Homo-oligomer: A and B are copies of this chain.
Amino acid sequence: MTIRYPNGKVYTPKTPITKTEKTEKMEKEKDFSFSNRGKTLEDEIDEANAYYLNRQLAVIHKKPVPVQIVKVEYPSRSAAVIREAYFRTPSTTDYNGVWNGYYIDFDAKETSSKTSFPLKNIHTHQMTHMQKVTEQLGVAFILMRFSTLERYFIVPYEVLQKAWCAMEKGERKSIPLTQIEQEAYEIPTSYYPRIDYLNVLQQFIESKD
């Protein structure tokens, strides 16, 4: 059906959403939710970390969100309530801990792109922190999810740093998936925990040693 303005011009919606496209999108989301049970990447990492902690395989925790607390109320007979606080910029990555004597340090990042990971998803302070960790012989990486493809990778700091330097020289602002497939370590998904990343991390550590 063609819709016309009063002046006779054909109306074209700016962001055309046809019924078919919308349905396709919904079905895709449904599929997606089913296969990973609607979990965020953070949920999936929490699940793996809880699994490792309970089985005494590793001690890795997510750091709390840093907040600047300004005002706290102490209502009688109940818990203290924070009434004014502000989010602060973290100076580290979100996850760290210890595994078999190794210091483990990483951040979780995801992209909906099917072909490359945009470097703008990583902040400068995170690169700086991972560099310092690497200098102290810690194991630093990004746990990366290509959410549309449902593929997960451990991308070592060294790989990110090379791409970051290239970007700063004016070269491309993303890492192609093909490069990640070659230089990073893919985490196969399983039932529980969905992303058993320590299994794959072993390969990365062995390549460093």
Q: Point out residues on A near B: beta carbons under 8 Å.
A: 53, 56, 58-59, 61, 63-67, 69, 79-88, 90-92, 96-103, 105, 129, 132-133, 135-138
Number of copies: 2
Contact of A136 among B90, B99, B132 (CB under 8 A): B99
Residue numbers in B under 8 Å from A87 (CB-CB): 79-80, 82
From known contacts A86-B79, A87-B80, A96-B96, infer whether A59 and B136 are also in contact, taking CB-CB under 8 Å: yes
Q: How far is the CA of A101 from the CA of B67 in the complex (A)?
A: 30
State in angstroms the CA–CA spacing of A63 and B92 once bound together. Answer: 10
Give the docked Cα–Cα distance between A130 and B33 (Å): 37
A81 vs B69: C-alpha distance when bound (angstroms): 10
Q: List the 3 closest A-B pairs by CB distance, nearest first.
A: A101-B137, A98-B103, A64-B66
